């Protein structure tokens, strides 16, 4: 087994995926297929694996594992299109038939076109297409690494890079370099670090040489960086003829990234060491969609106003979306139909040409774009589809193609609105980085590609409040094709004064709008926007509360007035994200428009709302995400039965939290006051249930509450009980 770099593994996997993209026969090709797969990770198949390992199953019959690495991996391989569920059952039978010492942690099911990797220890399953293997290389790192770690959605380089940037960020704050200057400086630095390892600057390591050539005490490093940023913003023909050769070697960047004036920090020995640690990482494997969310977390983590910024983020309801969830939005919104169109047009050059010509005409808007995750993934998937079309149309010229003019999908087709200025900066840089990554993919596939710099094309990312901004001023409805995103999640009980004002501005004419979540304002605004172009379709990630209780009746009474129809929906699933803290929320995805859907699709999560969904073809989808006619249930304060008491609230404590105890507070009372301890009971509301938060309530009647109040005031000093309004409780 030979050690190879992650970049080399990805390169080999790209070649592997290309070599095997049209293979379908199980027995004729499977053994060679897996031999070549292992070679991508530097493994000699004959020394590290066993093919057709005989295993006696529980029923006494003998089965044969297609490929087997003792203690690590079972592979069950099927012909293309075969049922993976049956294949996994078969692999599980082999697992139980093995000796304890040979039982592996991982099972891979494959049919050449798809890979399903299951981690038996964590009970998680990860699925990807053959073409996606290079991006999923780290899923299979257990093949070459001794420590078997949990499979993560992101490459470790994203964590390492975010950590190093975090250290530099913290060090700059310590010397009082902060605010807008700090955020802009770090955004420019991020671009330089990535560009240095991927050839954007022309030759690799040019930026690293600038840093390493500075004095050891760092005193001249700030001036060097200031000079460099100025050079990067100056076309070659306009640069001074006597410019230092080390700076003259850099390509012109443009794109406004380096144009505005910001202060550059003064460096010392420690700051220079922190920057050197950043440049010594290999940034070529960075995922912009994932790193952007981490980078946003870095900007918040050590900020002097960190608590305010984090609180603001909570108030905004901002949750970073994982790539898996983004694909759940964009695939049914537009990518599935485009891929199907490509598959159906394989033998028709006019149809292929028509699809190829349409791709540059699409325009995408994310009106709550954050760090640009949706825009990044949508652009990446569209570029890959364009590469498939280029190959299908000009296959005879493969290897000789000059694709500099054939790659016509551009970042300028993507638009975003983001209220946080730092996130808007990151979104622009993430799009430029993704553009370069896609150019490299094209180069590997066709031999040539279009140049990344100068940055002629830029995404349009506007910093502002999406509910107080006219979307038509960002992109005209006639030009827009799709709207997508992950608007803020804030229930009506948790909305700030400003958010309630936003909602009032958007929903002022809607009866009963006071019960609606903040996210619904995006639904209403989008519906009004697409009335100016009914061809636009929309898909948003939302909390599942907008499909339950009284909200659907209020929201959809308005949307149906405008003719909105649901095209597809993901029913409730458990949220996962790429931010610093995983948001413990349950979500839905709703795709809608004003046109009659060609096909209504429901994605249902039967496995405890996690895992992969089963797709259901529906006749129609109503606001409760059910295949049924739309009947909106309106709230009614008066019970149907006359003798039934009126329900004012369900499980909702409205004492200001004065009677609620944390686990630590409850334990303190139990240890110090046996009388008060009798009246402590577990308390379970929606938040406690969803987030598994242990909370206790004190008291079962008013006399007991008074006793608890008095004893807690005297003995445990919990100030919240001193403030309790007992007359209100009475």
CATH code assigned at 79: 3.90.1570
Residue given tokens 């939302």 in the structure block: 542
**What span, in angstroms and rounded, lies between the C-alpha atoms of 262 and 245?**
25
The answer on 212 and 123 residing in a single domain is no
Task: Identify the CA nearest to 556 among candidates 626, 613, 491, 636.
Answer: 626
Task: Identify the CA nearest to 284 among candidates 144, 441, 148, 149.
Answer: 441
Confidence check: pLDDT of 690 > 60: yes
Per-residue pLDDT tens for 632-670? Answer: 887 776 777 777 777 666 666 666 667 788 888 888 888
The answer on 168 and 94 residing in a single domain is no
265 in a structural domain: yes
More confident residue, 664 or 547: 547
Confidence check: pLDDT of 358 > 70: yes
Please compute the mean of the pLDDT values over residues 350-372 and round it to a whole number: 95
Confidence check: pLDDT of 33 > 50: yes
For residue 340, give both structure tokens.
């199907």
pLDDT of residue 47: 56
Is the backbone of residue 317 left (phi > 0), alpha (psi -120 to 50) or beta? Answer: left
Which DSSP state fits 543?
A: E
pLDDT of residue 380: 94
626-646: string of b/e by CB count within 10 Å (b at 16+)?
Answer: eeeeeeeeeeeeeeeeeeeee
Per-residue pLDDT tens for 41-91? Answer: 888 766 556 666 788 776 778 888 888 888 888 999 888 777 788 888 888
pLDDT class for 139, splitting at 50, 70, 90? Answer: confident
Confidence check: pLDDT of 169 > 90: no
The answer on 443 and 549 residing in a single domain is yes
pLDDT of residue 12: 87
Look up the pTM and report it. 0.68
The answer on 32 and 129 residing in a single domain is yes
**What span, in angstroms and rounded, lies between the C-alpha atoms of 658 and 695?**
12
Please compute the mean of the pLDDT values over residues 556-562 and round it to a whole number: 93
226 in a structural domain: yes
Q: Show which of 111, 143, 175 is a domain's final residue.
A: 143
Helix axes 221-232, 269-279, angle to 10 degrees: 40
- Secondary structure of residue 338 in the 3-state scheme: helix
Q: Average pLDDT of the chain?
A: 81
Range of the domain at 87: 6-143
Of 100-109, 255-264, 569-578, the poorest mean pLDDT is in 569-578
Per-residue pLDDT tens for 298-332? Answer: 555 544 444 444 443 333 334 456 778 899 999 99
pLDDT of residue 292: 67
The answer on 570 and 473 residing in a single domain is yes
The answer on 184 and 125 residing in a single domain is no
pLDDT of residue 591: 97
475 in a structural domain: yes
Contact predicate 5/33, CB 8 Å: no
The answer on 571 and 612 residing in a single domain is yes
pLDDT of residue 647: 67
Confidence check: pLDDT of 356 > 60: yes
Confidence check: pLDDT of 151 > 50: no
Contact predicate 11/444, CB 8 Å: yes
Give how many domains the chain has, as a whole number: 4
Which DSSP state fits 646?
A: P
State in Å, rounded, how far the first CA of the chain is from the last one.
75
**What span, in angstroms and rounded, lies between the C-alpha atoms of 488 and 521?**
10
Per-residue pLDDT tens for 240-258? Answer: 999 988 899 898 887 678 8
The answer on 61 and 22 residing in a single domain is yes
Please compute the mean of the pLDDT values over residues 272-287 and round it to a whole number: 87
Confidence check: pLDDT of 181 > 50: yes
**What span, in angstroms and rounded, lies between the C-alpha atoms of 148 and 142?**
5
Of 43-47, 167-171, 286-290, 681-685, the poorest mean pLDDT is in 43-47
Confidence check: pLDDT of 104 > 70: yes
- Secondary structure of residue 661 in the 3-state scheme: strand
Per-residue pLDDT tens for 424-454? Answer: 888 888 898 898 888 888 887 777 777 777 7
Of 390-394, 396-400, 714-718, the poorest mean pLDDT is in 714-718
Q: Show which of 75, 109, 143 is a domain's final residue.
A: 143
Confidence check: pLDDT of 31 > 90: no
Q: Show which of 618, 645, 668 is a domain's final residue.
A: 618
Task: HSE, CB side, 13 Å, CA atoms: give it for residue 506.
Answer: 31
pLDDT of residue 512: 82
- Secondary structure of residue 2 in the 3-state scheme: coil
605 in a structural domain: yes
Which are the contacts of 33, defined by CB distance < 8 A and separation ≥ 6? 20, 23, 77, 112
For residue 256, give both structure tokens.
């406004």
Which DSSP state fits 320?
A: P
The answer on 513 and 378 residing in a single domain is yes
Contact predicate 416/462, CB 8 Å: yes
528 in a structural domain: yes
Task: Identify the CA nearest to 193 among candidates 202, 183, 206, 181.
Answer: 206
Residue given tokens 């050539």 in the structure block: 213
The answer on 220 and 88 residing in a single domain is no
**What span, in angstroms and rounded, lies between the C-alpha atoms of 420 and 488?**
12
Of 79-83, 109-113, 414-418, the poorest mean pLDDT is in 79-83
More confident residue, 577 or 619: 619
Q: Give the highest mean pLDDT range of 120-124, 284-288, 357-361, 683-687.
A: 357-361
Confidence check: pLDDT of 723 > 50: no
pLDDT of residue 397: 55
Please compute the mean of the pLDDT values over residues 346-371 and round it to a whole number: 94
Per-residue pLDDT tens for 694-715? Answer: 777 765 443 344 444 433 433 3
pLDDT of residue 474: 97
450 in a structural domain: yes
Confidence check: pLDDT of 562 > 70: yes
DSSP string, 47-74: HH-EEEEEEE-TTS-EEEEEEEETTTEE
Which are the contacts of 656, defined by CB distance < 8 A and separation ≥ 6? 723, 724
The answer on 165 and 94 residing in a single domain is no
CA distances from 283 to 193, 263, 691 (A): 6, 25, 35
The answer on 128 and 173 residing in a single domain is no
119 in a structural domain: yes
Element housing 537 (H / E): strand 537-543
Confidence check: pLDDT of 479 > 50: yes
228 in a structural domain: yes
Please compute the mean of the pLDDT values over residues 563-588 and round it to a whole number: 76
């Amino acid at each position: 087994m030979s050690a190879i770099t992650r970049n080399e593994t990805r390169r080999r996997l790209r070649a592997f995926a290309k070599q095997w993209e049209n293979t379908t026969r199980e027995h004729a090709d499977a053994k060679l297929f897996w031999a070549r797969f292992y070679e991508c990770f530097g493994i000699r198949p004959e020394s590290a694996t066993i093919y057709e390992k005989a295993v006696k199953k529980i029923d006494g019959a003998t089965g044969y594992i297609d490929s087997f690495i003792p203690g690590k991996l079972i592979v069950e391989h099927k012909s293309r299109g075969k049922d993976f569920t049956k294949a996994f059952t078969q692999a599980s039978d082999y697992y139980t038939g093995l000796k304890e010492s040979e039982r592996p942690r991982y099972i891979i099911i494959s049919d050449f076109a798809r890979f399903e990797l299951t981690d038996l220890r964590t009970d998680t399953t990860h699925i990807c297409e053959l073409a996606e293997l290079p991006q999923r290389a780290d899923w299979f790192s257990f093949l070459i690494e001794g420590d078997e770690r949990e499979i993560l959605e992101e490459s470790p380089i994203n964590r390492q890079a975010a950590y190093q940037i975090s250290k530099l960020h913290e060090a700059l704050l310590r010397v009082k370099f902060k605010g807008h200057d700090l955020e802009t400086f770090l955004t420019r630095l991020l671009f330089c670090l990535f560009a240095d390892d991927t050839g954007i600057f022309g030759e690799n390591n040019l930026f690293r040489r600038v840093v390493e050539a500075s004095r050891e005490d760092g005193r001249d490093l700030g001036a060097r960086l200031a000079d460099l940023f100025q050079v990067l913003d100056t076309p070659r023909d306009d640069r001074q003829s006597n410019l230092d050769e080390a700076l003259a070697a850099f390509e012109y960047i443009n794109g406004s990234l380096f144009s505005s004036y910001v202060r550059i920090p003064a460096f010392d020995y420690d700051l220079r060491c922190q920057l050197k640690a950043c440049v010594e990482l290999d940034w070529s494997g960075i995922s912009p969609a994932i790193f952007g969310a981490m980078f946003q977390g870095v900007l918040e983590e050590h900020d002097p106003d960190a608590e305010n910024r984090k609180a603001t983020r909570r108030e905004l309801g901002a949750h970073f979306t994982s790539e898996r969830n983004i694909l759940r939005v964009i695939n049914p919104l537009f990518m599935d139909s485009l891929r199907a169109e490509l598959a159906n047009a394989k033998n028709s050059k006019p149809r292929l040409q028509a699809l190829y010509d349409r791709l540059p005409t699409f325009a995408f808007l994310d009106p709550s774009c954050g760090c640009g995750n949706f825009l990044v993934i949508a652009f990446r998937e569209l570029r890959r589809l364009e590469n498939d079309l280029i190959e299908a149309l000009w296959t005879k010229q493969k290897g000789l193609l000059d694709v500099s003019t054939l790659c016509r999908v551009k970042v300028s087709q993507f638009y975003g609105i983001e209220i946080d200025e730092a996130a808007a900066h990151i979104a622009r840089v993430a799009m430029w980085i993704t553009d370069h990554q896609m150019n490299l993919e094209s180069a590997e596939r066709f031999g040539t590609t279009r140049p990344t710099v100068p940055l002629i094309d830029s995404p349009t990312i506007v910093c502002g409040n999406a509910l107080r901004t006219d979307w038509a001023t960002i992109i005209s409805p006639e030009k827009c094709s799709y709207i997508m995103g992950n608007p803020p999640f804030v229930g009506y009980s948790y909305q700030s004064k400003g958010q309630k004002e936003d909602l009032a501005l958007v929903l002022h004419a809607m009866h009963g709008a006071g019960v609606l979540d903040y996210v619904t304002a995006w639904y209403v605004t989008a519906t009004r926007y697409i009335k100016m172009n009914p061809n636009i379709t929309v898909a948003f990630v939302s909390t599942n509360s907008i499909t339950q209780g009284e909200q659907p009746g209020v929201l959809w009474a308005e949307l149906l007035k405008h003719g909105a129809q649901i095209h597809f929906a993901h029913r409730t699933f458990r949220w996962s994200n790429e931010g610093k803290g995983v948001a413990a929320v349950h979500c839905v995805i709703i795709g809608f428009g004003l046109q009659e859907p060609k096909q209504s699709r429901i994605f249902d999560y039967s496995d405890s709302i996690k895992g992969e969904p089963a797709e259901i073809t529906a006749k129609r989808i109503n606001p409760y995400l059910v295949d049924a006619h739309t009947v909106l249930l309106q709230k009614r304060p008066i019970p149907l039965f006359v003798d039934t008491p009126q329900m004012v609230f369900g499980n909702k404590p409205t004492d200001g939290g004065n009677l609620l105890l944390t686990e630590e507070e409850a334990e303190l009372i139990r240890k110090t006051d046996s009388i008060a301890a009798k009246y402590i009971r577990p308390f379970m509301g929606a938040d406690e249930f969803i987030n598994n938060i242990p909370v206790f309530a004190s008291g079962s009647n008013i006399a007991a509450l008074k006793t608890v109040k008095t004893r807690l005031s005297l003995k445990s000093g919990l100030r919240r009980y001193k403030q309790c309004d007992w007359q209100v409780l009475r």
